[in-house]
C-alpha cells in the first residue's frame, strides 16, 4: 500500500511539474522553435510565457508594429497546429488583430487586420502604408496554398502627376507559388501587383495608364518607364 501511494505521489509530482513547465514555458523560445522569424515577425525583446507574453518593439519585416501582446492558443495544438494570437489594443489605425499559424508543412497568417508603414520597404514606389483587413495566407512547403482578405494601399500625396486620395485596393490571392496582392484604383487606370514568396522576397509592378503628355513626362521623370501596359515602375526586395 505504501508503494502504491508513493507511486501516486510520484505521478502527481511529475504531472504538476509538467504543468508548471507548460505554464511557464518562455514565449522567447517558442518564437524561435516555431520559426516565426521566417514569417517576418521579430522583436527587440520577448517577455512572458507562451500563454501570455509581450513582444516589445515588434516588427513585421521592416514595418514597425510597436509592443504586441502574444499568446499560444491551446486547442489548435490538439490538431497539430501551433497558433499564436497577436493583438495590440491601440485605437484607430494602430490596431492589430490576427494570428500566425504553423504546422509541420505549413506557415501562414490568419485573419490579420493591421496597418503597415510601407514607405521605406517599397521605395521608390509611392506607397505610404498597406492596410490588411482580415487577410489570411497559407504557404505549404514553400508555395502559396490559399489567400483571401482585403488589402488597401495608401499612396503618398506629394507624387507629381499622381492623385489617388482613395488609394488602391484588392483581394489577396495565390498566383502560382507566390502570394499576390492585386491592387487597383477606383478608375482602374492605376494598378499595383505585389507578389510575395515564402521567404518574404517581393516584386512590385506599379502601372499607370494616362494619355496626358504632361503627366507622362512627369511620371517618367519620377522613374516610370514605358511598357505595353502603360508607364511602369518595378521594384524588388525583401520584407
Tens of pLDDT, residues 174-212: 999 999 999 998 888 889 999 999 888 999 999 988 888
Within 13 Å of residue 144, how many CA atoms lie on the same side as its CB? Answer: 19
Which pTM does this prediction carry? 0.83
184 and 230 Cβ atoms separated by less than 8 Å = no
Cα–Cα distance list, 71 to 1, 22, 141 (Å): 43, 13, 25
In this prediction, residue 89 carries a pLDDT of 62
Question: 211 is written with which cell numbers?
Answer: 494619355
Q: Does an H or E element contain 205, and which?
A: strand 201-208
Instruction: Give whichever of 13-27, 161-175, 224-238 has the largest mean pLDDT.
Output: 224-238
In this prediction, residue 219 carries a pLDDT of 84
The residue extents of the domains of the chain are 26-114, 118-130+140-239
**Strand ranges, E, within 61-95:** 63-73, 82-88
Picking from 28-32, 101-105, 140-144, which range would have the lowest pLDDT averaged per residue? 28-32
The pLDDT tens digits of the residues spanning 78-119 come to: 888 889 999 986 654 568 899 999 888 899 999 999 998 888
For residues 73 and 83, give the distance between their C-alpha atoms in angstroms, rounded to a whole number. Answer: 6
In this prediction, residue 183 carries a pLDDT of 96
In this prediction, residue 1 carries a pLDDT of 41
* Intra-chain end-to-end CA distance of the chain, in Å: 64
69 and 84 Cβ atoms separated by less than 8 Å = no
Question: 124 is written with which cell numbers?
Answer: 521608390
Amino acid at each position: 500500500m505504501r508503494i502504491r501511494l508513493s507511486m501516486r505521489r510520484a505521478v502527481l509530482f511529475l504531472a504538476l511539474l509538467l504543468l508548471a513547465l507548460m505554464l511557464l514555458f518562455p514565449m522567447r523560445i517558442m518564437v524561435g522553435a516555431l520559426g516565426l522569424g521566417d514569417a517576418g515577425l521579430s522583436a527587440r525583446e520577448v517577455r512572458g510565457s507562451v500563454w501570455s507574453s509581450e513582444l516589445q518593439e515588434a516588427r513585421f519585416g521592416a514595418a514597425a508594429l510597436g509592443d504586441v501582446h502574444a499568446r499560444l492558443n491551446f486547442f489548435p495544438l490538439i490538431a497539430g497546429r501551433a497558433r499564436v494570437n497577436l493583438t495590440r489594443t491601440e485605437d484607430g489605425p494602430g490596431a492589430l488583430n490576427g494570428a500566425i499559424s504553423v504546422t509541420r508543412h505549413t506557415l501562414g497568417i490568419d485573419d490579420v487586420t493591421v496597418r503597415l508603414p510601407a514607405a521605406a520597404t517599397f521605395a521608390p514606389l509611392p506607397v505610404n502604408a498597406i492596410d490588411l483587413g482580415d487577410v489570411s495566407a497559407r504557404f505549404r512547403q514553400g508555395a502559396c496554398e490559399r489567400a483571401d482578405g482585403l488589402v488597401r494601399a495608401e499612396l503618398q500625396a506629394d507624387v507629381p502627376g499622381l492623385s489617388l486620395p482613395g488609394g488602391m485596393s484588392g483581394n489577396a490571392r495565390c498566383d502560382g507559388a507566390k502570394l499576390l496582392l492585386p491592387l487597383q484604383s477606383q478608375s482602374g487606370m492605376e494598378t499595383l501587383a505585389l507578389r510575395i514568396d515564402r521567404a518574404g522576397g517581393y516584386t512590385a509592378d506599379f502601372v499607370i495608364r494616362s494619355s496626358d503628355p504632361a503627366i507622362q513626362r512627369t511620371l517618367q521623370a519620377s522613374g516610370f518607364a514605358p511598357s505595353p501596359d502603360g508607364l511602369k515602375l518595378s521594384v524588388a526586395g525583401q520584407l
